[in-house]
Amino acid sequence: MTAAASPAVAQQLDERVSAAVREGLTARPKRLPAWLFYDEAGSLLFDAITELPEYYLTRTERGILTAHAAEMTAQAAAGARLRIVELGAGSADKTRLLLKAATELQGAVQYEPVDVSASALEAARERIEREIKGVTVTPRVMDYTDGDGSRLHLGPAVAQERRLVVYIGSSIGNFEPHQAAKLLRRVRAGLRAGDGFLLGVDLAKEEAALLAAYDDAAGVTAAFNRNLLVRLNRELDAEFAPEGFAHCALWNEAESRIEMHLKSRSAQRVHVGALDLTVEFAAGESIHTENSYKYRPGQVEALLAEAGFRGGNVDGCAGVVCGVPG
């Protein structure tokens, strides 16, 4: 069963999409927010990206979790009972490694995935409860990026329990550094002494490897990028010709980020019906659709320390488990 979004939730999303598209396409340079990628088709395209030979992120993170899930959960539990909360859980595919380790450690575990997609959460709950004995899933539909500077609501703090908040997949890479810092502070404010945080980030590496990961030979990332335009055509009655825009991925060394753009192949005018808006493009003009920040060694640790965590790096890799000082 897939949980359909309630009409009220669907309408809120429509309004959020309209506002973001109007703002982004009237800005100079033009931009669209990366969260717009994830409609149904976009989520499937992203799943396909994670299996591409060039997209090293998912494979690398799965490797780290496979090697260290037992160590990570034991360290986070520190002898107490562990409860796992995951931000932006999506399909929760890699989290299964942690849940398995937690059930091996303590027999049973409570798992609270948080995501904006009710249908993704429901599918994850069904699959996890069926496949991993001992896991009780209580999904929460919430936009964890919402809420200016306030404490992140992480569900009940239960006496004698420690929470491990999991934020993996390099999702934090989509945030500007100051936004990332703010999110970490909000997570910290939602935790108590002794709780833990597991963060998966991608590090800067050789440019060729980065570019290949965001411009794969099979063209899946290009389709993922252009799907934005397909989505605007469907949801906002826009008249984009997706092939009239080139997929473009570039490495911005100064900002340490991969950027994705959709570059107009010609001078053109595109009408967006639902917004009563006509957007003009010069030949070669682009819409900036994503930033994916790649951290430098030491940067995440510094960000975490500033947010009030004390850290332990796992295996010198991209995974960081840290605790709240008690």
Contacts with ligand AVJ, residue ranges (CB under 6 A): 49, 57, 169-171, 173-174, 214, 221, 290, 292
Centre a 10 Å sphere on the Cβ of residue 101 and count the other Cβ atoms it contains.
23
Minimum CB distance to ligand AVJ, residue 275 (Å): 25
Amino acid at 46: F
C-beta of 167 vs 323, nearer to ligand AVJ: 167
Write out the H or E segment, with its range, that includes residue 2.
none
> Cβ closer to ligand AVJ: 109 or 220?
220
Nearer CB in complex with ligand AVJ: 110/170: 170
Q: How far is the CB of 290 from ligand AVJ (least distance, A)?
A: 6
Q: Is 95 helix (H, G, I), strand (E, B) or coil?
A: helix
Nearest approach, Cβ of residue 121 and ligand AVJ (Å): 17
For the chain, the maximum distance between any two Cα atoms, rounded to a whole number of angstroms, is 64
| Min separation Cβ 148 and ligand AVJ, Å | 22
Contact 322, 297 (CB under 8 A): no
Burial grade of 246 (CB within 10 A; 0-12, 13-18, 19 or more):
middle
Query: Is the CB of 82 or the CB of 303 nearer to ligand AVJ?
Result: 303
In the complex, minimum distance from the CB of residue 43 to ligand AVJ, in angstroms, rounded to a whole number: 10
Query: Helices (DSSP H) in the chain: which residue ranges?
Result: 7-26, 40-49, 56-77, 95-106, 118-131, 177-189, 207-214, 220-236, 299-307
Min. distance of Cβ 200 from ligand AVJ in angstroms? 9
From the list 293, 255, 76, 308, the residue with the least C-alpha distance to 170 is: 293
Q: How many C-beta atoms lie closer than 10 Å to residue 123's C-beta? A: 18
Least separation in angstroms between residue 181's CB and ligand AVJ is 17
What are the C-alpha distances in Å from 201 to residues 170, 178, 258, 293?
4, 16, 14, 9
Cα–Cα separations (whole angstroms), residue 137 to 111, 127, 157, 171: 5, 10, 16, 22
Which CB atom, from 110 or from 292, has the smaller least distance to ligand AVJ? 292
Instruction: Tell me: cis bond preceding 29? Omega within 30 of 0 counts.
Output: yes
Q: How far is the CB of 11 from ligand AVJ (least distance, A)?
A: 26
Residue nearest to ligand AVJ (CB): 292
Query: Who's near 213: CB < 8 A, 6+ residues apart?
Result: 52, 54, 55, 56, 57, 258
- Please give the Cα distance from 297 to 317 (Å, whole number): 10
Q: How far is the CB of 244 from ligand AVJ (least distance, A)?
A: 21
Contact status, residue 88 vs residue 120, Cβ threshold 8 Å: no
